[in-house]
Structure 1
């Protein structure tokens, strides 16, 4: 299985989603971001880091999560190669106008590379709003409905699945649970 996590907008939760999938499922991480924290939470054989303008290697039958930074342009060969290899692309989007605009542009760029790929929009940073009236069904939250409506009106039929992700401290907990020697020295 090959999963890409991408949105050209920063700060939407790509790295926490990628890291949690990789650690939980035992997948390798492949990234084009040189300022990643993977060297602190994974061993050298659990992640691959390349430049933006390089192709990712063929991972054959390995399970990989591609955690991608940057926009798709003529120099973003890493993003294009990851999307071409992937079974699904996760596009994290928060309920901010710039994130929704960037997310819809990212989805369109992904579809231009691979029109048949499954896309999962993960609505990130969900917190219950005053006007929200629901118990635990986060797909009934105001922010989830707003993001889904925006993407469906901007790109009808482009997204296969939507998933609400409420705000959690799970990513911070990775550091507490890791046994990486560099973390233990901090």
Structure 2
């Protein structure tokens, strides 16, 4: 399993998704974001940091999640050759959509399936409008998944734990985080469909 998480827009949830998927699938994150600090919360045994001037290690087999920074990284072309899926997270806001469209146009030539993740959603109308915008401007059928706005994901990211695991840790947490944990389980199932 090799998954790329990419958007040239910063602050859209790339590292959060990388963390949740890596913890769920028990895999390594290769962090290509020069400003990323995942190894501070997750540790060097999970996160392998690659600086801008460094070559990305060639991984032909094995499970890895590539967490790209918020810019056009030329290393994407080489990494895509072994990828099973490219995830493009974005916030359904006007200032995020233009860069997200640019990012999609950048990756769609890689011949790798693309899954959009509409992240931090406050209402369904925003999802409808943003997906409609992307479809109109690409003329492509696109697949997407919606993650609602919740502080729970920020909490688990700060603690470096999986939301699914966190929700199962005690009665109160199980109740409090039941909904978002269920959504993240559905997200994982969606990812697994691409990996079959």
Q: Distance in 2 between matches of 1:2 and 1:36?
A: 20
Q: Tell me the TM-score normalized by structure 1.
A: 0.78
The runs of 5 or more residues in structure 1 that have no matched partner are 129-140, 179-186
Contact kept? 1:5, 1:91, Cα under 8 Å: yes
Q: Deviations over 1:45-71 (max 9, x none)?
A: 322111335442122322111110143
Judged with a 3 Å threshold, the aligned counterparts in structure 2 of structure 1 residues 53 and 155 are, in CA distance, closer, same or farther, namely farther
- Which residue of the partner structure matches residue 119 of structure 1? 114
- Which residue of the partner structure matches residue 155 of structure 1? 138
Q: Distance in 1 between matches of 2:13 and 2:114?
A: 16
- Which residue of the partner structure matches residue 99 of structure 1? 96
Judged with a 3 Å threshold, the aligned counterparts in structure 2 of structure 1 residues 26 and 145 are, in CA distance, closer, same or farther, namely same
Q: Deviations over 1:64-122 (max 9, x none)?
A: 111101432xxx3333233332111110111111211100100001123x1x2100000
The secondary structure found in structure 1 opposite 2:60 is coil
Structure 1 residue 177, shift from structure 2 partner: 6.0
Name the stretch that deviates more: 20-29 or 165-174: 165-174
- Which residue of the partner structure matches residue 64 of structure 1? 64
- Which residue of the partner structure matches residue 88 of structure 1? 85
Contact kept? 1:53, 1:77, Cα under 8 Å: no
User: How many equivalent residue pairs?
Assistant: 160
Larger helix proportion of the pair: 2
Q: Tell me the TM-score normalized by structure 2.
A: 0.74
RMSD over aligned CA atoms reads 1.8
The runs of 5 or more residues in structure 2 that have no matched partner are 162-196
The secondary structure found in structure 2 opposite 1:157 is coil
The secondary structure found in structure 2 opposite 1:62 is coil
